Chain A
Amino acid sequence: MQVMLIGGGKLIYHLAKNLMSKGHFVTIINKDQEYSVQLSRQLRADVICGEASDPDILEDAGAYQTDILVSLTQKDHDNLFICKMAKDYFGIIRTTALVNNPDNEGLFKNLGVDAIFNTTQLLSSLIEQNVAVENISNLITLENGRLSITQFIIKEGAPVIGKTLKDIDLPLSIVLGGIIRNGEIVIPRGGTEIKEGDKILIISLPEDQAKAIKVLGGDI
């Protein structure tokens, strides 16, 4: 995939390295000339030095061929502007932004930025995830904790018992991977009813895991 990263610092460097090792094509846009030179020496990615909110720079960086744009600057207004411009001017389908001020999260979502990383919230949910709660076990996390698979046991009296999955208001970013019921595997579908003692495998982004568990009756 053709990925465009905007911003600087260690985050961009490691992210670019990681993405390239998986076979993606990476272009980086950075404002600082010195840092751009340094990045281009360290990485095999294309590095463009310039202001990413300038449509000409985006075009030079290959915005028309880009599948995903990731804006990771420290300024929310830059991230928002770049993502909107990427969508409206260049038709980039997926845009991802860092949100530094938690107040802005709703705004970014409303304006159609596809994925939002709220650093404050992300950190707290990662910490939360590592605090043991009895009927939740974290099985594995993939990609340095960016995707987690969790097992959750439905306890007696949980409000979701007897409901079908389609009636439960699960966040869209969560997939139920399977239900283990009395040692049998049940593949969850919309019509599957939840029973007491079910072990449910939840596949989710770490930041949404808590939401899923809450919906299923966990106390977090």
Chain B
Amino acid sequence: MFIVIVGCGRTGSKLAGLLSEKGHDVVVIDRDTEQFSKLPVTYSGFKVKGDALEQEVLKTAKIEQADKVVITTGNDKVNYMVTQIVRFTFKVTGVLVRVIDPEKVKLFEKDPAVMTLSPLSLLVNEFAARIEGDEV
């Protein structure tokens, strides 16, 4: 699969390394080249430096050909806008996006082609499940 990852922070870089190791074609985008140093040595994909809010940058990453786009920047508003550009301008049908504030998930999920993951919700649900599991 051809996968574009927007944001090369802790999440983005780890995911990129993992997917690259499994043999997928990966491109990571980040504004800051220093972030690329977080990628593991085994990473064999491409790195694109630039602001993912600019369509030119997304074009450079060949995003319109992506099977999946993963958006993991640390700003929900940036994530939202990148999601919309990827969906409307580049017509990508598989978008996964990290949403930091669970209250904002609703806004993203109006589009069925967008799947959201909220670390906070995952954590809360997991804790709750463990606690309830103990009670049984």
Using CB atoms and an 8 Å cutoff, list the residues of chain A in contact with chain B: 53-55, 75-78, 80-81, 84-85, 88-89, 101, 103-104, 106-107, 110-111
Find out whether the CB atom of B54 lies under 8 angstroms from the CB atom of A103. Answer: yes
Q: Within 8 Å CB of B76, what residues of A?
A: 53, 81
B34 at the interface (CB under 8 A from A): no
Interface of A is mostly: helix
**A77 and B53 within 8 A (CB):** yes
Q: Provided the pairs A85-B107, A103-B54 are in contact, do residues A53 and B77 lie with their beta carbons within 8 angstroms?
A: yes
Q: Which of B54, B75, B103, B110 contacts A55 (CB 8 A)?
A: B103
A-B contact pairs, 12 of them (CB 8 A): A55-B103, A77-B78, A77-B80, A80-B84, A84-B80, A85-B107, A89-B107, A107-B81, A107-B84, A107-B88, A111-B84, A111-B88
Q: A148: shortest Cβ distance to chain B, in Å?
A: 31
CA distance A153 to B81 in the complex (A): 43
Which one of B55, B101, B103 contacts A103 once the chains associate, using CB atoms below 8 Å? Answer: B55
Known contacts A53-B76, A101-B54, A103-B54; decide if A88 and B106 are in contact (CB<8 Å).
Answer: yes
Chain B residues whose C-beta falls within 8 Å of the C-beta of A85 in the assembled complex = 104, 107
Give the 7 A-B residue pairs with the shortest CB-CB distance, closest first. Answer: A77-B81, A81-B77, A77-B77, A77-B78, A81-B80, A110-B88, A80-B81
Complex: how many Å from CA A101 to CA B75? 19
CA of A76 to CA of B110 in the docked complex: distance in angstroms? 20
B37 on the interface (CB 8 Å rule)? no
Q: Are A76 and B53 in contact (CB under 8 A)?
A: yes
> Which residues of the other chain, A, contact B54 by a CB distance below 8 angstroms?
101, 103
A215 to chain B, nearest CB (A): 26
CB neighbours of B53 from chain A (8 A): 76-77, 101
Q: Mark B69-111, 1 if CB is under 8 A from A, else 0.
A: 0000001111011001100110000000000010110110010
Closest to A55 in B: B103
Query: How far apart sit A42 and B84, CA to CA, in the bound complex (Å)?
Result: 38
Assuming A55-B104, A80-B81, what are 19 further A-B pairs, CB within 8 angstroms?
Answer: A53-B76, A77-B75, A77-B77, A77-B78, A78-B77, A81-B77, A81-B80, A81-B81, A81-B107, A84-B107, A85-B104, A88-B106, A88-B110, A89-B106, A103-B55, A106-B88, A107-B84, A107-B85, A107-B88
* B80 and chain A: residue at smallest CB distance: A81
Q: How far is the CA of A75 from the CA of B89 in the complex (A)?
A: 19
User: Which chain A positions have C-beta within 8 A of B78?
Assistant: 77
Q: Which of B81, B85, B103, B106 has the most CB of A within 10 A?
A: B81
Q: Closest Cβ of chain B: how far from A113's Cβ, in Å?
A: 11
CA distance A104 to B76 in the complex (A): 18
